[in-house]
A and B are shown apart, each in its own frame.
Chain A
Amino acid sequence: MTNDLDSRALGQADCYAQRFMRAGDFGYAVVPGHGQSMSTDRPFVIHVGQAKTKAGEDIIQHHVRVEQGNGGPRAVPATLTIGVGDMVIWNGTCSSPFAVVGEAEFFNSYRMVNECGFSHAFGRAGSYEWRDAFGSGLGGVIHVSDPDCQKDPRLKKWQAALADGSVVMIADGKVDRREISIMTGQTVFFAIVKTGGVSITDSRFIDQSWMHPDPCKTKAA
């Protein structure tokens, strides 16, 4: 499995979360990672109806699994009915990275806009400097260290600690925690309140621009 920190291509240890703040039908596709322009079909739908929660209550959360189908990744269930204000979380069980691409501009894991989030469980020790690949200047560092698990009780303690997540809030062009230290296997949830469209991307992938060149930026000879 891959465990790259890049919200544009969701791996097995990643989740994309999106809140739906108004009623309507929101079609979307699940495409291979970085393939957001590959398909204009929107075979999957989120039906958003009347709100089911009252002010002050926790939101209702729904889970969509992304599996490997014959024709590429597919969402299960393909159709989901929720209430206004609910949150849907997508997570992949297939080994290949994917992206969730909606018709509406706000609904896109490749470029997250508002009322959404991205979680990543860090599988390897190291320091991860993340940046927004779309150039907003947002960024931060996650320090990940391996626990000392030579002895069984420490291993159990570490496994219990995996349920403790960290939150990074991104709103109004700011990041509330620019530096976080966690243990291997722990999860960081990047909550995006309102932006012009951002990604959470390991800066090493941004520097490797040859990996995903933008054909629209290719200059004529």
Chain B
Amino acid sequence: MAEIIAAVDETAANSLLDTGIALIPAQHANGSGNLGPFVASYAVSATLVNGDVDLIPPDVIRIVDLRVNWSINLSFGIDLNSFLPNFCLPQVCVRIPCVGRVCTPRICISWPTISVPVSFSDFVKATGDFRLNIALVGGNWEVSAIILGVPNLQFGATSALLLVAIGAAVTPILLLIPFAGPFLAVAVNAILLGIGIAGVTGLLGPIITPFVSGLKLPIYKQPQLFEVLPNESAIDPAVTIVIDAIAARIENAGEDELVLSADISA
């Protein structure tokens, strides 16, 4: 039988995981990915916020509405020749007094490739099932909760908002391109349709999901050998104990509880 037993109910477990999740520092990633027909480079950071904890015997902690706050800086290039029609200034003829008719040549314009930077922040919620994990690491007992599987993140509303942000970022850039102004609405619509909701989701999914999949939440950490009473005198030395084993499980004793038990020796 275990010498030490500690139990917390769901309310206390919620508080425990609030603290554990708050200790996880902001995570960062950068790279490149497909944004519809474009290749976008990105830098993203994410922080986690605890949701509602549900303890499920024998060893599952379910967190409903685990929230991922994320912020992304995107940059991608658009070859406007792919989105704007071929454009030529027609021959312009004017009549000049005492000279006569003078005409300029037809002048065709080649559209440039533009670089579009977009900054966007949002959050996504997920429900994740975590399994209790116990390990002795470097002389410390660590109890943690490791997420099971890859949660399905829903970016539906976010994708629409990011598309709006892309449209807002593209517009002032297009207005700086000579002769593009009259094609502004056509170009922005074509670019956003080219990306589409699927394009945004296809980019965000692989970027944000890794912040949640493989997630490990710290619950408890204790040195295997630790002092329980300090050294008082030459005849009253410090008392240390060794934690030989730790077990963690979810039990239902009227209500669901997270139970930690330890076997110790002197």
Contacts and interface: CB of A to CB of B under 8 A. Distances in A.
Interface of A: 1-3, 12-13, 15, 17, 19, 57-59, 61, 63, 87, 89, 91, 117, 119, 121, 123-125, 146-147, 149-150, 155, 158-159, 162-167, 169, 184-185, 187, 189, 191, 193
Interface stretch (B124-132, B133-141, B172-180): B172-180
Given A19-B99, A124-B175, A124-B178, A166 B107 contact: no
Contacts of A1: 109-110, 112, 178
B109 A117 contact: no
Contacts of A123: 177-181
Nearest to B100: A58
A86 to B, nearest CB: 11
A59 B91 CA distance: 17
B26 interface: no
B92 interface: yes
Interface of B is mostly: mixed
A57 B104 contact: no
A158 B182 contact: yes
Interface of B: 89-105, 107, 109-110, 112, 175-186
Given A146-B181, A149-B183, A189-B96, A121 B89 contact: yes
Given A146-B182, A184-B182, A162 B102 contact: no
Given A1-B110, A13-B107, A167-B94, A185 B89 contact: yes
A124 B180 CA distance: 8
Contacts of B89: 13, 121, 162, 185, 187
Nearest to A90: B105
Nearest to B85: A155
A107 B176 CA distance: 33
Nearest to B99: A59
A91 B102 contact: no
B90 A162 contact: yes
A16 to B, nearest CB: 11
A113 B184 CA distance: 39
Given A162-B90, A165-B93, A185-B89, A59 B181 contact: no
A125 B185 CA distance: 15
B52 to A, nearest CB: 48
Contacts of A3: 178-179
Contacts of B94: 165-167, 189
Given A150-B185, A191-B99, A13 B92 contact: no
